[in-house]
Amino acid sequence: MVLQQLSILNFKNLEQVDIELSPKINCFIGNNGMGKTNLLDAVYYLSFCKSHINPVDSQIIRHDADVCMIQGRYYVSNRQTEEIYCAIRRHQKKQFKRNKKDYDRLSDHIGFIPLVMISPADNEIILGGSDERRRFVDMVISQFDKEYMNALIRYNNALQQRNALLKNEPSQIDPTLLDLWEAQMVEEGQSIFEKRNAFVKQFIPIFDLIYKQISRSGESVSLEYVSQLHASDFARQLKAGRQRDMILGHSTMGVHRDDLEMLLEGYPIRRVGSQGQNKTFFVSLKLAQFRFLRVMSHTTPILLLDDIFDRLDTSRVEEIVKLVSSSDFGQIFISDTNRESLDEILSATDHDYHIYKVENGDISRVFE
C-alpha cells in the first residue's frame, strides 16, 4: 500500500496542501509548530478515521473554517488505485468515502490501509493509564481482525447498558435486563480476552528482538498481559460483584480493566526507566507492531516517524536508521527539525526519496 497523492484543506494549520509523494521515503523538515506533525496526522486520519493527537474532531478544523477535507490516492497492486476521501464539518457527522462510495460504518474502513505511527505522544503508552495500553493492543489487533473490533463494539455497548442500570436504586434494577447485558459481556469479553492473550504471546519475542537491537544492550524487557479473566470464570465474577457494583454505580470486573504491564529488568519501566530507555521502549513497541502487522495483514504498512530521534543517543539512532532503511519497510514518512538525522537515513539507503520544507503550514518540495 502506497500513498501516491495527498490533498488537504483546512486541517489544523494546513490551509491547502497538494503533494505527489515518493513510494519510499518522504521527509518533512521544519521548526517546531510549523505543521510537520499535522501533515503526518492527516495521513494517519485516512487510515483510522480519527486523529492520532486530537480526540475531538472539531479541534482539527482550521479555526477560521467550517469544513476540513483530506483526500488520498493509494496504489494497491496490479496498477489498482483506491481513493479515500474524508470531510469533517462542525456539528455534523464526518463523511468517509472509498472510491466515492460512503462507508456504512467507519469501523469497516479500519485495517484497509495498515499504518503505524511513532511519535513523542506514544510515551503515554508507558506513563499513561491502562486505557492507553489497551488502546495500543486494540489498535494492533483491529487492523487485521475485523471480528475482534466488532466484539469490542458489542462488549462496550453491553458495558454501557449495565453501567446505566447500576446507577439506579437497587430496587429499580431489573435483574432480567442485568442478566441479559452480563451474558453479552461474558460472550464478547471471553473472545476479547483470548485474542489479547494470544496476541501478547506472539508479540513479545518480536518486541524483545527489536529492543535488543536498538539498545545494543543486554537489558531485559518484557510485557505481561494483566486481566481479571486469568483468575476465574468471568460470569461468576460478574455475579459475585453485583452488590459492590450497585454501590459504586459501575462495573468493576471485565476486560475493560485489562492492562499490559511493561517491564525493564523485571520492574515497571514507568518507574525505573530513563527518558532514553522509555523512548527506546515505545519505539521498539511500534516497530514490533509494524513487523507483526506486515505478517498478519499480508501487506506492508505505511510507517510514520514523527520527531523520534530526539533524546536518543547516537548508537540508538544508528540502529533505528538501520532498521527503517532495510527492505522490510515500504513507504515511510519522516518529520524532524534536524536535517542531520534525515541525512543519515537517506545516505544509508538507495531508495527513492522526496524532501519537503514545512513553514507556517506551507509545504514545498526541496529539489537537490
189 and 219 inside one domain: yes
Cβ atoms of residues 280 and 214 within 8 Å: yes
196 and 161 inside one domain: yes
- 3 state SS for the chain: CEEEEEEEEEECCEEEEEEECCCCEEEEECCCCCCHHHHHHHHHHHHHCCCCCCCCHHHHECCCCCEEEEEEEEECCCCCEEEEEEEEECCCCCEEEECCEECCCHHHCCCCCCEEEECHHHHHHHHCCHHHHHHHHHHHHHCCCHHHHHHHHHHHHHHHHHHHHHCCCHHHCCHHHHHHHHHHHHHHHHHHHHHHHHHHHHHHHHHHHHHHHHHCCCCCEEEEEECHHHCCCHHHHHHHCHHHHHHHCCCCCCHHHCEEEEEECCEEHHHHCCHHHHHHHHHHHHHHHHHHHHHHCCCCCEEEEECCCCCCCHHHHHHHHHHHCCCCCCCEEEEECCHHHHHHHHHCCCCCEEEEEEECCEEEEECC
For residue 78, is it left (φ>0), alpha (ψ between -120 and 50) or beta?
left
- The mean per-residue pLDDT over the stretch 307-335 comes to 83
Task: For residue 106, give the nearest of 91, 124, 89, 94 by alpha carbon.
Answer: 94
Q: What is the spatial distance between Cα 277 and Cα 262, in angstroms, rounded to a whole number? A: 12
| Reported confidence tier of residue 337, pLDDT bands at 50, 70, 90 | confident
Final residue of a structural domain among 281, 298, 315: 298
238 and 336 inside one domain: no
pLDDT value at position 278? 92
pLDDT value at position 1? 87
267 and 138 inside one domain: yes
Q: How many domains does the chain have?
A: 2
With a cut of 90, say whether residue 35 has pLDDT above it: yes
Say which residue the cell 483506491 belongs to.
Answer: 82
132 and 265 inside one domain: yes
The most confident of the ranges 85-89, 313-317, 318-322 is 85-89
With a cut of 80, say whether residue 205 has pLDDT above it: yes
pLDDT value at position 204? 95
* Domain with 258 in it: 122-298
pTM: 0.91
240-250 pLDDT, tens digit each: 999 999 999 99
Residue 58 belongs to domain with CATH number: 3.40.50.300
4 and 66 inside one domain: yes
Cβ atoms of residues 337 and 9 within 8 Å: no
Final residue of a structural domain among 273, 298, 323: 298
- The mean per-residue pLDDT over the stretch 125-131 comes to 95
Residue 251 belongs to domain with CATH number: 1.20.1050.90
Q: What is the spatial distance between Cα 111 and Cα 117, in angstroms, rounded to a whole number? A: 14
100 and 229 inside one domain: no
Pairing mode, strands 221-226 and 115-118 = unpaired
287 and 312 inside one domain: no
Final residue of a structural domain among 280, 298, 316: 298
294 and 309 inside one domain: no
132 and 244 inside one domain: yes
Task: Between 53 and 217, name the one with better pLDDT.
Answer: 53
104 and 139 inside one domain: no
259 and 215 inside one domain: yes
pLDDT value at position 340? 76
